[in-house]
Structure 1
Amino acid sequence: MTNPLPISPRMSYGQMRHVLSTAEPDLHVRSAQLPGKLDGLYCLSTNTVLIDWRITYTRKRCALVHELVHWRHGDDATHGCIGGRNERRCRRETAMLLINPAEYALAERMYDGEPHQMAAELNVTIQIIQDYRQWLHDNVTV
């Protein structure tokens, strides 16, 4: 990523949107009813992130960060840039942005690794927990 995003793992969805409106005034973050199972979408041509208004705030928070990572990399959903390597990179970076390693380790111990409880504790989706675990697995030194 070029510049770090002005967000932290402890921020709520509302706090993230507020900070972005000041720190990145040219980026538009809007709510909409998105088709299918889409939680979020980034459109390069309009510099707009759309987040489905029907989902929970935890999912909105995760979707917003996910789309911000696409934004930082210049990925454009309207031109088929989503999927494959870009999507794996985005999911990994999203997990790393949303999860504080010390808080993850504590949640892992508190809940014996149970992903649903860990996700609730860390205010992320189970997918984020799985993506973070994949990153940990891929980066274990033997």
Structure 2
Amino acid sequence: MGKALPDIEYMLLPGALNGLYDKQTHTIYIDPRLDPPTTRATLVHELVHAERGDTACCDAWFHAKQELTVERAAAMRLISTDDLIAGVRETCDDRHLAAWLEVDLDMLNTRIGILTAAERRVIEEEVDRLGRTA
């Protein structure tokens, strides 16, 4: 039997914080002011934190490493290679591609940043086939 999904609550969060996971209450908090693509990206990001059982950390280096690991995992879940290729068939504009994939631009950039050599080659071949510049 798997772990229960965390509760999700919407509440105004301070500063530039889009969401957070509270391990003690097993609750994800999402800022309701976010647009739908950012909400989707934030929710998956926080779900990865919940699955990992992450807690807030006070060491800046460890915090940055944890966030990068979680963001990469979320990007892999939200944007498959096939979806990225299909999106490139529609547009090569980053903002339009992010909207087409229903993610925010940060999540798209994270996914592009972790493409494998094979994934990058397939996407570049598709862009070349379409006669576009990447």
TM superposition score normalised by structure 2: 0.78
C-alpha separation in 2, matches of 1:93 and 1:106? 21
1:82-122 CA deviation, whole Å, 9 max, x = no partner? Answer: 7322111111111011112212112123212x210100101
Q: Given the alignment of the two structures, is residue 92 of structure 1 paired with residue 69 of structure 2, yes or no? A: no
Mean Cα deviation higher: 120-129 or 56-65: 56-65
Other structure's SS at 1:83 match: helix
TM-score, normalization by structure 1: 0.73
Corresponding residue of 1:128: 107
SS for the counterpart of 2:117 is: coil
Please tell me whether residue 80 in structure 1 is matched to residue 58 in structure 2.
Answer: yes
2:7 corresponds to 1:28: yes
Please tell me whether residue 46 in structure 1 is matched to residue 10 in structure 2: no
CA distance, structure 2, for counterparts of residue 24 and residue 58 of structure 1? 25
Question: SS where residue 49 of structure 2 aligns?
Answer: helix
The count of residues paired between Structure 1 and Structure 2 equals: 116
Q: Distance in 2 between matches of 1:80 and 1:122?
A: 34
Letter in 2 for 1:80: C
Runs of 5+ consecutive residues of structure 1 not aligned to the other structure: 4-22
Tell whether 2:78 aligns with 1:71: no
Deviation at 1:47, TM superposition (A): 1.1
Partner of 2:82: 102
Greater displacement, 99-108 / 116-125: 99-108
Alpha-carbon distance, 1:80 to partner: 3.4
Deviation readout 1:6-41 (Å, 9 max, x if unpaired)? xxxxxxxxxxxxxxxxx835x211110000011100
Give 1:49 deviation, angstroms: 0.5
* 1:112-127 correspondence runs (5 A): 112=92, 114-127=93-106
The percent identity for this pair of structures is 30
For 1:28 and 1:52, locate their aligned partners in 2 and report how far apart those are by CA, in whole Å: 14
